[in-house]
Amino acid sequence: MNITKTDAIAHDPVEPQNRARRDMLRLAGAGFATAALSASGLARAQVAEEANTESLMIERKGIDKDIKVFNIDLLEEQAKQKYGHGTYVFVSHGSGDQWTLAENRRAFGDYVFTPQRMQGIVREKIDTSVTLLGEKLPHPVIVTPFGSHGLHHPAGEVATAEGAARSGALLTVSSASTRSMEDIAKASTGPKWFQMYLNVDEGLSKEVLQRARDAGFKAIVLTIDAIGQGSSDEYMRLGNPRPWLPYGNFTTGSANAFKTNLSWSDVEMIRKITGLPVIVKGVTRPEDAVAAVKAGAAAIQVSNHGGRALDGTPAAIAVLPEVAQALQGDAPIIMDSGIRRGTDIVKALALGADAVAIGRPLMYGLAVGGAGGVNSVMEFMQRELVNTVLHSGVDSIAKLDATHVWRAGRT
């Protein structure tokens, strides 16, 4: 059932005497936009930010609606109106000077399509399916691990799981989720993997991994490119203003105790603990991809963490061809960081990826429409994917290769 914002408020169980407080929260949220950033002004802004977030959570309770997605930039603007300013900065910005964040988008322009014409392709018969680690999926777009979905919607990752399942997408759940992995697993009717930041407490890491296995997750994604918190300059200037929601899989504080001395032996440790395949996420060098596979990784995820970890690293699409060439098909390749259109997806597939993963676009959909918004983003990606494959002159994404996408300036 689709529930509008008006309906959600009408059925809100808040007692009449509390409605005045809610109105005050709205006023506080409105005032946040103009709060001064002096020392005292910053403190007032942080209070208003929290009030604005609480107000929005009340108003958006139960939102689950399909939305019209024309492009992700417009959707981001819609989502921005739902967030408090500090939360928006936390979600949308990258680390440092944000060079890598911008480069992830710009670098797609280094590649151009070279369509095959007159191939007799029937749009309705285009095959976008892909098989990853034995799981057949209707399309190659998966949900990348992204923490704290509760910042975007009251139901958090549960709503994301429901939206992903509607589209048939593979769901990757972050260990830094605001809902427990067990709750998310129960809400998901589709395929799901669990992402892990290894903890300095090895016993805690093993416990979380075993829980993921027992909850029904079919693979473990080991993130290796974010071994410390990354924050943008603007977010730090604002004083870390986003609301801090409890983590669903850790006690307070333990989720941030990242293990920094990672090694390839950790891949084998995870395999032994869980008996599940391991995807190594955060690879940007060909030799690291080869080493990961030798260490037992079942798949590779080419990623620079969406520009959120180390600024100054190359765009994921720029390093993808070399990683694909180094692996020579020995393991599936997933690529994330910067994908916002179906044209981006086709370029990634043609340059060696088997699938792509998206994060921020889905969070914007979650903020605007809940589970329906997540599904709507996936439908947008699928529409553009099919249209781009059609114009490329093939009837299956499996037939895309480097002849369909050239580096700009190639003669």
Q: Quick one: pLDDT at residue 257? A: 82
pLDDT 10s digits, 123-177: 999 999 999 999 999 999 999 999 999 999 999 999 999 999 999 999 999 999 9
Domain ranges of the chain: 1-62, 99-407
To the question of whether residue 359 is assigned a binding role by annotation, the answer is: yes
Averaged pLDDT, 344-360: 98
To the nearest whole percent, how much of the chain has pLDDT over 90?
74
To the question of whether residue 179 is assigned a binding role by annotation, the answer is: no
Q: Which pTM was predicted?
A: 0.84
Q: What whole-number distance in Å separates Cα of residue 325 and Cα of residue 168?
A: 29
To the question of whether residue 26 is assigned a binding role by annotation, the answer is: no
Class of domain 99-407: alpha beta
Q: Quick one: pLDDT at residue 37? A: 32
pLDDT 10s digits, 57-112: 444 456 999 999 999 999 999 999 999 999 999 999 999 999 999 999 999 999 99
To the question of whether residue 146 is assigned a binding role by annotation, the answer is: yes
Name 281's bridge partners: 223, 301
Q: What whole-number distance in Å separates Cα of residue 330 and Cα of residue 317?
A: 19
Q: Is 153 a catalytic residue?
A: no
Q: Quick one: pLDDT at residue 16? A: 33
To the question of whether residue 360 is assigned a binding role by annotation, the answer is: yes
Q: What whole-number distance in Å separates Cα of residue 160 and Cα of residue 163?
A: 5
> Predicted confidence band at 46 (pLDDT cuts at 50, 70, 90)?
very low
To the question of whether residue 180 is assigned a binding role by annotation, the answer is: no
- Is 339 exposed, middle or buried (CB count within 10 Å of its CB: 0-12, 13-18, 19+)? buried
Among 153, 305, 391, 404, the one annotated catalytic: 305
